[in-house]
Structure 1
């Protein structure tokens, strides 16, 4: 085996970037072109449903919600590495090479749903903060009114 045969073998083992030459004119047409019946995509959908369920359930448990938020942030952070891994190993779990060098597909189907869950959590935190501030202000005004009433009677 000479040097060129070794290189050809190595080059063929790396998947071709399937989307680099594809001009995407519409996000909708891109998403329609995906074969959503593949088992790994079904599993990803189930994963996102579970994440949304956990986001809703943990609204009442602040510490659990913080852990859930940090875990999702770590998953989004790792998306680039996951995309590289999936681009190399796509043949073992997928019929098509969806994983482009820019990570568009993984961003759309993996990162954006996680980020939306994180936005929901941040909105819940902001709502709780405003609610707590309102309660504190109400208590402060009640105490002030009691003090003034007590001073008038004295």
Structure 2
């Protein structure tokens, strides 16, 4: 006997802003009222974070601090979600902060994690570049030593 999943349309949440059934991440993001000032501020914050991540690629110590700060902010997302769920009326028109944390994960944590991934990619690239330079220097020194031995 096969079990077929019964799709109950009433169990799919309806967005209060656009009256659209939320069936995917895309429909969820489309149902957000992006013109709210705090969301514009959050998008500006993420743009500044991305810009600083790209501008500090040459500064290893700055990126370490930036990386640790972003990881701490992602770590605190659960606490932030609870705080925002309690006080959403003071800064938002709609209650976006659910108990599962989907909204804060999508608009807060994922962009920060994207920045940390960029930083890790830069670190891996720099490590490989340094290893390549080191191996090249080792081969040159070995060739010089062998050349001197042949002359003697």
Place the TM-score, normalised by the shorter chain, in its bin: 0.7 to 0.9
**Which structure: greater helix fraction?**
1
- Asked if 1:118 is matched to 2:148, the reply is no
- The Cα of 1:101 is off from its aligned counterpart by 0.2
Q: Deviations over 1:37-95 (max 9, x none)?
A: 00000000000001001101111110000000000000000000000000000000000
TM (norm. structure 1) is 0.85
SS of equivalent residue, structure 2 residue 33:
coil
Q: Between Structure 1 and Structure 2, how many residues are aligned?
A: 135
Q: Distance in 2 between matches of 1:24 and 1:149?
A: 72
- The Cα of 1:122 is off from its aligned counterpart by 0.2
2:151 match: 153
Larger RCO of the pair (alpha carbons < 8 Å, separation 6+) = 1
- The Cα of 1:134 is off from its aligned counterpart by 0.3
2:58 match: 60
Q: Distance in 1 between matches of 2:36 and 2:125?
A: 39
TM (norm. structure 2) is 0.86
* Ranges in structure 1 where 5+ consecutive residues have no aligned partner: 1-19
Q: Distance in 1 between matches of 2:98 and 2:12?
A: 10
- The Cα of 1:21 is off from its aligned counterpart by 6.5
2:41 match: 43
Report the RMSD for the aligned CA atoms in angstroms.
Answer: 1.2
Q: Which of 136, 139, 144 is residue 138 of structure 1 equivalent to?
A: 136
Contact 2:12 2:22 survives alignment (8 Å): no
- Asked if 1:77 is matched to 2:57, the reply is no
Q: Distance in 2 between matches of 1:26 and 1:104?
A: 11
Q: Distance in 2 between matches of 1:144 and 1:75?
A: 48
